[in-house]
Amino acid sequence: MQSKSSKQQKIYNGKYIKLSKIGGGSFGQVYLVKDIKTNNEYAMKKFYLDNLGNGGAVKQFEILSKFDHENIHKVLDMFIAPNKNQYLITPYYPNNLYNYVTKKLPEKIIKQIILQVINAAKYLHSLKYIHRDIKPDNILISNEGKIILTDFDLCRLESKGKDDPLTRTAVTLYYRAPEIFFGDSYYTNKIDIWSIGCVFAELVIGQPLFKGSNELSTLSKIIQIIGCPNEDNWPGVSELPNYLPFGGGEFQLGKMLENGGLSKEGIEIVTNMLMLDPKKRPTCEELLENEYFKKDIASVDELKKIMELK
Ligand SMILES: Nc1ncnc2c1ncn2[C@@H]1O[C@H](COP(=O)(O)OP(=O)(O)O)[C@@H](O)[C@H]1O
Ligand SMILES: [Mg+2]
């Protein structure tokens, strides 16, 4: 139900009024709203009517309601207006990792952030879900220093086998794993590990690692920085539908991360997450077992202070 208050302000679902616009993307727009009875603030995501192919608010509500994890977005309310617009109400988080990319955070802070993102992904993967759109803009931060993975528009269950192919338009270009570019319809949750590796590297170097303007130029960047995929480093790659025998490319990632000030151990972790062959990338569990995430890591309080969360 939508009605007008005396000041002609639209009231959504009989409860919420808009305060400001927070974001807008491919699937809808996000507003900061206030519950008129309690004065509590929330984020309200409006899904574009012509882009409900991914299920809109109804599907996101259904998926998010299944999850219960401290690093995953909670969902509070969902409603469909008479004009069929769909809305999702979630807690509001005032900070977004996207705004910290150029800040060159210290390694121990980056480590704490990535640790929490891996914890979120580990939970999703344990339930057989793949997020499929991990990137800085989809990582929110609470004022208490909690990292919150959001935007489940593209999230879905793993492929169940040959009769259940996955779409190849998943994941924002810069964070998209090479197997997706090569047309693999049976990619696994290792595409999320690739994306997290990209986010990790981005926080170190201060800009997206594989910044291409289209699919081919992004893939060329990957080859330029990681090396050329072939049957030696990635058995089976030549059988993928869109595989092209590229030439050139040599491993430059180590130098780039070193120039960004990352430790030897950090470089090793990012390198493993960005293995061309998805089978060689570590799982979330394997990452969390690594000593790297157990020592020289900032506390959540330090994170709050250094990131100036208020
Ligand atoms: N709960 C929230 N709190 C604060 N900001 C949010 C929240 N949800 C989304 N946003 C902001 O809105 C942007 C777009 O929301 P998102 O769910 O990622 O939709 P899209 O599918 O359009 O990318 C996010 O990148 C983030 O900046
Ligand atoms: Mg988003």
For residue 21, give both structure tokens. Answer: 């616009």
| Residue 85 lies in domain | 9-91
- Give the number of whichever ligand sits closest to the CA of residue 45: 1
List, by residue number, the catalytic residues: 133
Please tell me the distance from the alpha carbon of residue 147 to that of residue 109, in angstroms, as a whole number: 12
Flag whether 3 is in a domain.
no
Query: How many whole angstroms separate alpha carbon 200 and alpha carbon 212?
Result: 18
Atom of ligand 1 nearest to the CA of 153: 21
Does residue 261 share a domain with residue 208? yes
Of the candidates 91, 112, 139, which is a domain's last residue?
Answer: 91
- Cβ burial of 153 (10 Å; 0-12, 13-18, 19+) is buried
Pocket of ligand 1 (CB under 6 A): 22-23, 25-28, 30, 43, 45, 90-93, 96, 137-138, 140, 150-151, 153
Q: How high is the mean pLDDT of the chain?
A: 92
* Ligand 2 centre distance from Cα of residue 25 (Å): 6
pLDDT at residue 176, rounded to an integer:
97
pLDDT at 37: 95
Domain identity same for 269 and 134 = yes
Highest mean pLDDT among 7-21, 140-154, 155-169: 140-154
What does the alpha-carbon distance between residue 17 and residue 41 come to, in Å, rounded to a whole number?
A: 10
Q: What is the per-residue pLDDT for 51?
A: 63
Statement to judge: residues 278 and 233 lie in one domain:
yes
> Domain boundary residue among 91, 122, 137?
91
Residues in contact with 185: Cβ distance below 8 Å, sequence separation at least 6, in sequence order: 159, 165, 166, 167, 168, 241
Structure confidence at residue 7 (pLDDT): 58
pLDDT digits (tens, 9 = 90+) for 196-216: 999 999 999 999 999 999 999
Ligand 1 center to 23 CA (angstroms)? 6
- What 8-state DSSP symbol labels residue 49? G
Instruction: Say yes or no: 162 and 288 in one domain.
Output: yes
Question: E strands of 145-298, at which residues?
Answer: 147-149, 156-157
For the chain, the domain total comes to 2
What's the pLDDT at 57? 86
Reference 121, options 103, 147, 98, 95; nearest CA is: 147
Q: How far is the CA of 66 from the centre of ligand 2 (A)?
A: 20
Domain edge (last residue) among 68, 91, 114? 91
Regarding whether 178 and 104 lie in a shared domain, the answer is yes
Digit-coded pLDDT (tens) for 51-63: 666 678 888 899 9
pLDDT of residue 145: 94
Do 54 and 127 lie in one domain? The reply is no
pLDDT digits (tens, 9 = 90+) for 240-270: 999 988 877 789 999 999 999 999 999 999 9
- Mean per-residue pLDDT for 160-189? 90
Structure tokens at 175: 């964070």
| Residues 293, 211 share a domain | yes
| Residues 75 and 24 occupy one common structural domain | yes
In the DSSP assignment, the letter for residue 173 is: G
pLDDT at 5: 47
Q: Which residue has the higher pLDDT, 24 or 108?
A: 108
177 and 248 inside one domain: yes
The answer, yes or no, to whether residue 107 has pLDDT greater than 70, is: yes
Residue 267 lies in a domain: yes
- The lowest-confidence range among 120-124, 248-252, 284-288, 305-309 is 248-252
- Give dist(CA 138, CA 142) in Å, integer: 13
CB within 8 Å of 164: residues ≥ 6 apart: none
Whether 138 is in a domain gets the answer yes
The CATH number of residue 17's host domain is 3.30.200.20
Indicate if the pLDDT at residue 293 is higher than 50: yes
Amino acid, single-letter form, for residue 33: V
Position 54 scores a pLDDT of: 64
Query: Residue 212: which CATH number?
Result: 1.10.510.10
Shared domain for 83 and 202, answered yes or no, is no
pLDDT for position 295: 94
Q: Residues of the chain with pLDDT > 70: what percent? A: 95
Q: How far is CA 244 from CA 51, 144, 216, in A?
A: 32, 47, 11
